[in-house]
Amino acid sequence: MSGLLSVFLHLLLLFKLVAPVTFRHRRYDDLVRTLYKVHNECPYITRVYSIGRSVKGRHLYVLEFSDYPGIHEPLEPEVKYVGNMHGNEVLGRELLLQLSEFLCEEFRNGNQRIVRLVEGTRIHLLPSMNPDGYEVAAAQGPDISGYLIGRNNANGVDLNRNFPDLNTYIYYNEKYGGPNHHLPLPDNWKSQVEPETRAVIQWIRSFNFVLSANLHGGAVVANYPYDKSLEHRIRGFRRTANTPTPDDKLFQKLAKVYSYAHGWMHQGWNCGDYFPDGITNGASWYSLSKGMQDFNYLHTNCFEITLELSCDKFPRQEELQREWLGNREALIQFLEQAHQGIKGMVLDENNNNLAEAVISVSGINHDVTSGDHGDYFRLLLPGTYTVTATAPGFDPETVIVTVGPGEPKLVDFQLKRSIPQVFPTRRVPSAGPGGRVLPKRVQPRAAK
C-alpha cells in the first residue's frame, strides 16, 4: 500500500510540474498574490516594491529581477516594462505577470539565456499603472459596450495625456538653441499631474533607466517617439506628420526588434491598419501631447517605445495563451537590447565617481548623463562615433569609438580638473596732484 501511495504522490508531483499554466484575467488582489508568489518562489533574484498609490489607494507594485535585488550594480543597465496605463487595455498587464512567472521558472531551471539576462540586467515590471481603471473595466468584462470604460483613472484622467509637456520646449530649443536632454520640469508639476503619474515620474527619476516599453492595446504595432508632432494633428487626419527624434534610426531598430520577434506584428496588416514592418513613428500615426514615452526621452536617460499588442483592448480569457506565445520571445529580445552601444565609468583623477557628467555623441543632438555611481549607458547602432564627456569644473575628454553589433563597448572617461587661467594684472599708473597721471620718468640710455 505504501508503494502505491509513493507512486501516486510521485505522479501527483510530476503532474504538478508539467501542468499547463492557467491563463486568466487577474483582478487587483490576484495580481498582488501573483507578484508575491513569484517572489516567494525566487526570493534571491526578486523584490516587490511599491512606487506609490492610485487615487483609490491601491499600491502600484513593481516586481524587480536582479542577482542583487534592491541594489544598482555599476555598469548593469536598468530596464522597465509598464503595463495597463489605460485601465481597459489589459493584455500588457497579463503578459507582464506571465513574464514574471516565466523568468522565475526559467532561471530556476538553469536556462542560460535567462540566467545571463537576470544576472546582467536589472529588470523592473510594473504590471498595472492604473489599477483603479482596470477594476472598472474588469467589472464589465470583455463584452463591454463602451469602448472607453475604465480607460482613465478614478479622477477621469487619461494618464497618457498627463505628463508635463516637454516637447514644446525641445522643438523651440532645436530651432533656437538650448538643452537637448534632461529638460527641467515646471516648479508646480506635482500639482498638475495625477497620483499615478506623479508616482511614475518620481520612479523614473530615482533609477537610471536605459530602456523601457509601455504596453497598450487597441492596435498591433510598435510605436516610437516623438508622439507629438510639430503641428498638432487629430487621429485619422493626415497621417504624414513624421516627427523623428535625433535617435530616429535607433528607435526604428528597437521597434523592429519587437515587431519581428512577435508572432505576427511584423506582417503589418493588423486590426484593419497597415504599418510597414509593424512599426510607426507616433506622430505620423496621430499626434499625442503629454505622453509618457516622449517624457522619458526628454527628461531622463531612458529610451521608451509604446507597444500596441492586441486589436481587442480586453481580450477574452481563452485568447491569452495565444497572445503570450506570440509575445514571449519579443519581450525577452527587447530586454536584451539594453546591451548595445557603449557604456562605462566617468571618474575624476582620484578615481572618484562623477555623477551627472554629460555624454555627447557628435552628430546626434541628444545627450545622456552618468548616474549616481558614475556609470553611463548610451544606446547606439553599430558604427564609429566621436564621444565627449564633460562635467562642471573638469576639462572635457573626447574619444573615437567603433561600436559593433554585439555587446556594448566599454568606454571609460577620467576627467582632469580644469586649471583656472591666471591673467597678469596691469599696474595702474599713479596719479599726481589733481588726479593727473604723471608721465613716466625716462632714464637716458647708456652710451654704447
Active site residues: 308
Joined grid coordinates for residue 94: 497579463
Pairing type for strands 364-369 and 358-361 reads antiparallel
| Whole-angstrom distance, CA of residue 51 vs CA of residue 63 | 11
DSSP state for residue 85 in the 8-state scheme: S
Would you say 276 and 181 are in contact if contact means Cβ atoms under 8 Å apart?
no
Would you say 180 and 367 are in contact if contact means Cβ atoms under 8 Å apart?
yes
Phi and psi at 3, nearest 5°, equal: -65, -45
Per-position DSSP letters for 257-295, written without gaps between them: HHHHHSSSGGG-EETTEE-GGGEEEHHHH---SS-HHHH
Angle at 98 between CA 93 and CA 103, to 5 degrees: 125
Phi and psi at 305, nearest 5°, equal: -120, 165
Integer angstrom CA distances of residue 378 from 205, 345, 351, 369: 17, 12, 21, 9
Pairing type for strands 413-414 and 342-347 reads parallel
Joined grid coordinates for residue 39: 517572489
Question: What's the alpha-carbon Rg for the chain, to the nearest Å?
Answer: 28
